[in-house]
């Protein structure tokens, strides 16, 4: 697996990471735990070194899963987790309030260290910007955790440009995690130029559009009652039908390259900037293998130009979040 550096930091990781959220949370009933431990360890064997979790996934159970899976290979991996919600067992992050008070951040760090079975958190993200707490105080709290050796790198998730700049002035931000893919390109407008200027890496989540860009979902697909996509406007049957145009485009390129639509979608992301590290999630071994192979696909400048011009003709239908959750991003 190729390695990439997150911005100008000293944090080097595999070109593709593994998002672990769906192993415990958000996409219907979680799979069997030992099966997921095996999947995570297989990812390590295949060269993946960046693993993404959060206390909010479960809550808490995903960190425990990731910690147990990676303990035997701790020296080979980078573990990223997140703070920023007020959580109780059995209450999802979407229902809990925001809490990035410095004292709470430090409490979360201690609890995450224990669940992950590590001495230091490699990358500690603020999960969502908390408008009640100045970002300078948030960055200051993480700076203290770094000085204490409990955290190695500071990250932000779904933050806006101004917030990123203010945080970075207090404690250098190593990475921004936000959604980015061929069907959500808003980060290109302000975020990517700012990240390049500041030397911050970018870790796109949902790089396959919550599964849609794999080509395995259409307007007839049904989702479990606990699947987050049930409430996402972009996943209504009408939106899925309209958005198949983008999948058709990916399929055309995939056929030419002897690849899959998912692999082309990931290869396109990797081609955008050398400091972009997508974290596709999966609970299936076959899908893991498919995703990781995308790192070996090279799209030529002509390919990228053709994808650009063709995708510009496609209008994506549906918002990526329900209205209430949309209020928490881009601050």
Residues labelled as active-site residues: 57
CA neighbours closer than 13 Å in the CB half-sphere of residue 186: 12
Token pair 């390109």: residue: 185
The helices-and-strands tally (H runs, E runs) of the chain is 11, 9
**Which H helix or E strand runs over 178?**
strand 173-179
> In the chain, what is the straight-line distance between the N-terminal and C-terminal CA atoms, in Å?
34
Q: What is the distance, to the nearest Å, from the Cα of residue 56 to the centroid of all Cα atoms in its chain?
A: 14
Give 18's strand partners: 51
Both structure tokens of 106: 């430090």
Give strand pairing partners of 174.
Answer: none
Query: CA 122 → CA 12, 150, 171, distances in Å?
Result: 11, 9, 15
Show Cβ contacts of residue 76 under 8 Å, excluding neighbours closer than 6 positions: 44, 49
């Amino acid at each position: 697996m190729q390695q990439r550096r997150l911005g100008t930091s000293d944090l080097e990781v595999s070109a593709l990471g593994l998002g672990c959220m769906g192993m415990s949370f958000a996409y219907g009933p979680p799979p069997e735990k030992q099966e997921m431990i095996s999947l995570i360890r297989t990812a390590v064997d295949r060269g993946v070194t960046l693993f993404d979790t959060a206390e909010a996934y479960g809550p808490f159970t995903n960190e425990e899963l990731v910690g147990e899976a990676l303990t035997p290979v701790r020296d080979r991996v980078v573990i990223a987790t997140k703070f920023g919600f007020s959580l109780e067992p059995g209450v999802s992050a979407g229902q809990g309030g925001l809490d990035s008070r410095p004292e709470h951040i430090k409490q979360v760090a201690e609890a995450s260290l224990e669940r992950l079975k590590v001495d230091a958190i490699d990358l500690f993200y603020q999960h969502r910007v908390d408008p009640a707490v100045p970002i300078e105080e948030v960055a200051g709290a993480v700076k203290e955790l770094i000085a204490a050796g409990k955290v190695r790198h500071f990250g932000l998730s779904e933050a806006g440009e101004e917030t990123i700049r203010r945080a970075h002035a207090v404690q250098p931000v190593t990475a921004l995690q936000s959604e980015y893919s061929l069907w959500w390109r808003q980060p290109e407008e302000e975020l990517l130029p700012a990240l390049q200027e500041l030397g911050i890496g970018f870790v796109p989540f949902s790089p396959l559009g919550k599964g849609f860009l794999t080509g395995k979902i259409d307007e007839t697909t049904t989702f479990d009652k606990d699947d987050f996509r049930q409430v996402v406007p972009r996943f209504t049957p009408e939106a899925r039908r309209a958005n198949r145009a983008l999948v058709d485009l990916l399929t055309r390129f995939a056929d030419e390259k002897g690849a899959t639509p998912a692999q082309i979608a990931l290869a396109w992301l990797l081609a955008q900037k050398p400091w972009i590290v997508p974290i596709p999630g999966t609970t299936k071994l076959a899908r893991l293998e498919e995703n990781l192979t995308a790192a070996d696909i090279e799209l030529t400048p002509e390919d990228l130009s053709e994808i650009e011009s063709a995708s510009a003709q496609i209008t994506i239908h549906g918002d990526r979040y329900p209205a209430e959750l949309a209020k928490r991003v881009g601050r």
